[in-house]
Amino acid sequence: MTISLNQTGKRFNYDWIFRRVDLTFLDGERYAILGPNGSGKSTLLQVISGAIQQNEGTVSYSTPEGSIASDEFFRYCAIAAPYLELIEELTLAETMEFHLQFKNFLPGITPQKAMELVGLEKSANKQIRHFSSGMKQRTKLALAIFSDVPVLFLDEPCTNLDAAGTALYQQMISDFGGSRLIIVSSNDEREYFMCRHHIRISDYK
């Protein structure tokens, strides 16, 4: 999977968040989008993922078999982000099963195994509304990282996690990141420890 941005820009009203972005994200590589809070890191990540539309330039997706239409790219990616909400009325087990209606888990990962790996197996029948913020973040990370997709987007993935949760996140990436393309939006080195490519949002202001 390759993602290419050509002279890509995004603005809100009359304010440009970033402009003239020329980047290529290659299969199997890990990239970090860096910058202070409010700098536009998350906006760039959302444009790359196709969650929001750019105002200028292009974003294109391709595999060795050919191009992928922008409105089909969601099938090839998973994302964990603080602004993505879980369905509060569902239990954790129901959340896992609902997710599997849209994306399969990696080979060998069952809902029970996923819950065990993030330390939430005892909360399988608890509604998400009763989860702590840290438990919700572990759930979001499980749904994203365990999805069997070639591209993984992580926006401030350790939000609401304590030291043990952050260590768990790092272990999950090491164990299950595989050869996927991973793009992380962050200003915390613990979140992008695996990324050898660093992109500074300030370069595109």
DSSP string, 62-84: EETTEEE-GGGGGGGEEEE-TTS
Report the candidate in 199, 142, 203, 186 with the shortest Cα–Cα distance to residue 168: 142
Taking the C-alpha atoms of residue 2 and residue 143, their distance in angstroms, rounded to an integer, is 23
In the chain, the number of structural domains is: 1
Residue with tokens 């926006």: 155
pLDDT of residue 88: 97
Task: Quick: pLDDT tens for 68-89.
Answer: 999 999 999 999 999 999 999 9
Task: Quick: pLDDT tens for 146-173.
Answer: 999 999 999 999 999 999 999 999 999 9
Strand 2-12 relative to strand 15-25, pairing: antiparallel
pLDDT of residue 30: 98
pLDDT of residue 176: 98
pLDDT of residue 169: 98
Report the candidate in 86, 157, 165, 164 with the shortest Cα–Cα distance to residue 126: 86
Q: Domain of residue 177: give its range.
A: 2-204
**Radius of gyration (C-alpha) of the chain in whole angstroms:** 17
Phi and psi at 54, nearest 5°, equal -75, 160
Residue 135: give its domain's CATH number: 3.40.50.300
- Average pLDDT along the chain: 97
Q: Average pLDDT of 176-185?
A: 97
pLDDT of residue 86: 97
Please give the distance of CA 147 from its chain centroid, rounded to a whole number. 11
Give one word for 35, left, alpha or beta, with left for phi > 0 and alpha for psi -120 to 50. Answer: left
Residues 6+ away with beta carbon under 8 Å from 196: 29, 30
pTM metric for this prediction = 0.95
pLDDT of residue 17: 96
